[in-house]
A and B are shown apart, each in its own frame.
Chain A
Amino acid sequence: MALLRRAIALSVCFTCPGCAGWQSALDPHGQQARGLEGLIWTFIWVAAAVWISVMAVLAIALSRKSGRGAGNERRMRVTVGGAVAGTAAIVLALTIISFLSTRLVSSEASHPLEIRVRGYQWWWEVTYLDARAERVFTTANEIHIPVNRPVRLQLSAADVIHSFWAPNLAGKQDLIPGRENTLTFSAQQPGTYRAQCAEFCGVQHAHMALLVVAETPDAFEHWRQSQLSPAASPTDPEQAEGRKVFTSKPCASCHTIQGTSASASIGPDLTHLASRSYIAAGLLQNTRGSLAAWIADPQTIKPGNNMPNVPLTANELRAVSAYLAALK
């Protein structure tokens, strides 16, 4: 008995952390996620009530003595008829509720913020679209959005099927090569939410995360302006050396740093790399140390990813990490 109690206490402890946090469908911070949360709780409570009442009827039936009377046949017909009618009513009600809330979730908004998200093995390319070409910019693995404004993601994939899932904000939507899906959502309060690829996409699928940072409209506009500017110039000789290393080594044949000669689009855009919280799609905190570790040996940190081990001397590595860590 004591063991059972301990097991129950333990399982409650383990399930509780799942109910809140920066990556949980049960802690909604957006209208769409709230709709889905309401739907799942409705289903859970209705199903629980049905299960408990069926069990109660079963218990009563087992505990009673069987009686054979003249009225039994009629009573049985009424009971079975009632149960069938009740089941049909519940199924119909849940279907209607489900239809109404999914329609709410997938409704299109007027004048949304348009963002193109493209899935690669194993990172996310994020392009902020605008009618004016000079206001379009590209970043990676981090989406900033203003609160209380609908955001429309145009989702596509470069290689295999991925799936965008920010559980606190919206449901899942697949990224499929050769076609474009959309997902519209909005955040109701500022905060940082974690999104994750939700469709197995290869050996590093688990390390394909993305941050959604919801900010006040002012903070978002400030961020947007800073992202639109070209990369910060080196402020000391070490950083200048780092830029030289970056543009002369294979780094520049895959990455872009706006304002330098590096302008390739095979890997993530690094123009404002230091403004992001994580590198390697949510794998490492963005510090100069982890940047250097990543550049020195990406295949040990994230085996199978498409960044090669580029041979650099210790001084080159120090310089290039100093330069990248200063790209605010």
Chain B
Amino acid sequence: MTTKLSSAPLAVKSLLMCMLLMSSLCGCEREKRQYRTDPPVAAALDEVAPMPNGIAGAPPDAYVAAGEPYKSNAYDLSQGKQLYSEFNCSGCHAEGGGASGPAFLNGWWRYGPQAVSVFVSIRDGRPRGMPAFRSRLTTEQIWQLAGYVQTIGAYSAKTSAPGRNDAMQSRPSENRSPAKSSYASDQWPYSAAQ
């Protein structure tokens, strides 16, 4: 191979070199972080239309128009992860395994896996203990948190991930479809035992 390449004409070699350099340029594009949402857009992000039973429903137009960033943007997922620990979600849900609150890791969602359901659960609270965070978090923060909670209970791997844990890992990391691993185990609520 080396001898072949060294005997190739100069034009071919320089062409190959150019292609190599150009392909390395692809690595320069960085994910866009949106630190600031325009206030009207932020207000519009609150306009979810859940079904009457509080499960699923239509996401806000602004959320769809923005390309559903809170599901897949690594910065938003990281912010969500930070909020998860700062606002003591782990106090009830632990690291996704559940404690006094339900688990996320088993992939079983009481109110459905849709982003709207998770958003409404956090914003308005749910019966039997889930408090409302409407006056504690901004709408953007609730979306970031909802996006992160969805990744903990995800069945399919994501290409984006939040920052790594500082502490010891107690479950598969967020971009490795944590719920899928418990689906394979006996922990699944539909198993014969239940």
Contacts and interface: CB of A to CB of B under 8 A. Distances in A.
B41 to A, nearest CB: 11
- Place the interface of chain B in its size category: 10 to 19
A249 interface: yes
B145 to A, nearest CB: 12
Contact of B138 (A177, A304, A309): A309
Contacts of B86: 254, 266
B35 interface: yes
Interface in A127-180: 177-178
Contacts of B33: 304
Interface string B114-140: 000000000000000000000111101
Interface string A302-321: 01101011110000000000
Most central of B36, B42, B43, B79 by chain A CB within 10 Å: B36
Contacts of A300: 36
A189 interface: no
A243 to B, nearest CB: 15
A112 interface: no
B89 to A, nearest CB: 13
Contact of B43 (A299, A310, A311): A311
A248 B134 CA distance: 11
B35 to A, nearest CB: 4
A272 B39 CA distance: 30
B91 to A, nearest CB: 14
Contacts of A253: 87, 136-137
B35 A303 contact: yes
A297 B138 CA distance: 13
A303 B136 CA distance: 21
A82 interface: no
B186 interface: no
Interface in A262-301: 266, 297, 299-300
A309 B135 contact: no
B84 to A, nearest CB: 12
B185 interface: no
Given A250-B138, A311-B42, A306 B166 contact: no
A248 B138 CA distance: 13
A177 to B, nearest CB: 6
Interface of A: 177-178, 248-250, 253-254, 266, 297, 299-300, 303-304, 306, 308-311
4 shortest interchain CB distances as A-B pairs = A299-B36, A253-B136, A303-B35, A308-B138
18 contacts: A178-B166, A250-B137, A250-B141, A253-B136, A253-B137, A266-B86, A297-B36, A299-B35, A303-B35, A304-B33, A306-B79, A308-B138, A308-B140, A309-B37, A309-B39, A310-B138, A311-B39, A311-B42
